[in-house]
């Protein structure tokens, strides 16, 4: 099971730019200060909260709820008004993000080749499980993964498909139930601490390919089976040797740059 943002495509900076574009379009302010997420702050946020709406709600809870031109400069106080503002911001962010993805997104090294190997093996089920909202997620997978591959996947789930987002393990547990396998026979590919915690919470072995701000996180300490720079040297046979009844990582630990 592949995460999308950061595993299939390095999208962290694209998301940050899209959020800031939405904040600017809504003239979002906390007090008199325009809301803008710096690279350094988004690095922290990305490894703290999964999903777009939860990120914004966490930020506003910590820093104060903002005024915007859609609220006529008034700070929303009711849960309904706050939810409506976050929903509208997420819609605008997704609109901007889709445009950016169309212009610049490309697959990370090795991920599509590994996915193709797995799709071609009838004994392997393949899925993508993302915390991103469906509209933004679909733009990425349609643009980068392609409709032909997507049609052959056994599971395709976005953040909208679950009631709790990563680091909660729900999305991986539901995906496992769909394919009818125990967690011990699954492999999750993640790039962040938030995603790794979701995999560990589902009792699934997790191979981490860090990107962006996640490079120096303590993935092994958090329970990753192995950490590799990217998937360009990872082959299906390394993970599922012919004599194996569950995933193995010994061969992957031998690739250049691997940590275990």
Please state, in angstroms and rounded to a whole number, the distance separating the CA atoms of residues 101 and 144. 9
Q: What's the pLDDT band for 136 if we cut at 50, 70, 90?
A: confident
Topology of the domain comprising 111-254: Rossmann fold (3.40.50)
Query: Is 168 known to be catalytic?
Result: no
Domain 12-104, classified CATH 1.10.150.240, yes or no: yes
pLDDT in tens, 116-125: 999 999 999 9
189, containing H or E segment = strand 188-190
What pLDDT score does 132 carry?
A: 84
- The pTM of the full predicted model, rounded to 2 decimals, is 0.76
End-to-end, the C-alpha distance of the chain in Å comes to 20
What pLDDT score does 134 carry?
A: 85
Residue ranges per structural domain of the chain? 12-104, 111-254
Task: Output phi, psi for 11, to 5 deg.
Answer: -115, 0
Q: Give the pLDDT mean for 98-105.
A: 85
Per-position DSSP letters for 23-56, written without gaps between them:
HHHTT-EETTEEP---HHHHHHHHTT--SHHHHH
What pLDDT score does 104 carry?
A: 83
Query: Is 3 known to be catalytic?
Result: yes
pLDDT, the chain, mean: 94
Percent of the chain with pLDDT over 90: 77
pLDDT in tens, 164-186: 999 999 999 999 999 999 999 99
Residue that is written with structure tokens 């009631």 in the block: 163
Angle between helices 12-25 and 52-63 (to 10 degrees): 60
pLDDT in tens, 183-229: 999 999 999 999 999 999 999 999 999 987 778 899 999 999 999 99
50 neighbors 195 (Cβ within 8 angstroms): yes
Report the candidate in 130, 193, 203 with the shortest Cα–Cα distance to residue 165.
130
Q: Which of 3, 168, 191, 230 is catalytic?
A: 3
Angle between helices 193-201 and 170-179 (to 10 degrees): 50
Please state, in angstroms and rounded to a whole number, the distance separating the CA atoms of residues 253 and 234. 10
């Amino acid at each position: 099971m592949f995460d999308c943002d950061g595993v299939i495509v390095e999208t962290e900076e694209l998301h940050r730019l899209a959020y800031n574009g939405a904040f600017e379009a809504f003239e979002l302010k906390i007090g008199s200060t325009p809301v803008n997420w710096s690279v350094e702050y988004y690095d922290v946020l990305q490894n703290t909260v999964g999903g777009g709406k939860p990120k914004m709600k966490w930020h506003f809870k910590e820093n104060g709820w903002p005024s915007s031109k859609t609220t006529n400069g008034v700070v929303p106080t009711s849960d309904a008004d706050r939810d409506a503002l976050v929903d509208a911001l997420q819609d605008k962010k997704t609109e901007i993000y889709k445009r950016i993805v169309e212009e610049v997104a490309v697959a990370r090294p090795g991920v599509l080749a590994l996915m193709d190997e797995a799709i071609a093996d009838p004994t392997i089920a393949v899925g993508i499980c993302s915390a991103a909202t469906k509209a933004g997620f679909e733009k990425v997978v349609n643009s980068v993964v392609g409709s032909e591959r997507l049609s052959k996947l056994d599971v395709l789930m976005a953040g909208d498909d679950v009631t709790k987002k990563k680091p909660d393990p729900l999305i991986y547990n539901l995906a496992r139930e769909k394919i009818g396998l125990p967690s011990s026979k699954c492999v999750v590919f993640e790039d962040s601490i938030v995603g790794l915690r979701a995999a560990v919470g589902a009792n699934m072995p997790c191979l981490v390919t860090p990107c962006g701000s996640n490079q120096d996180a303590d993935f092994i300490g958090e329970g990753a089976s192995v950490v590799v720079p990217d998937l360009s040297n990872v082959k299906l046979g390394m993970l599922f040797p012919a004599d194996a009844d569950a995933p193995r990582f010994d061969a992957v630990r031998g690739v250049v740059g691997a940590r275990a």
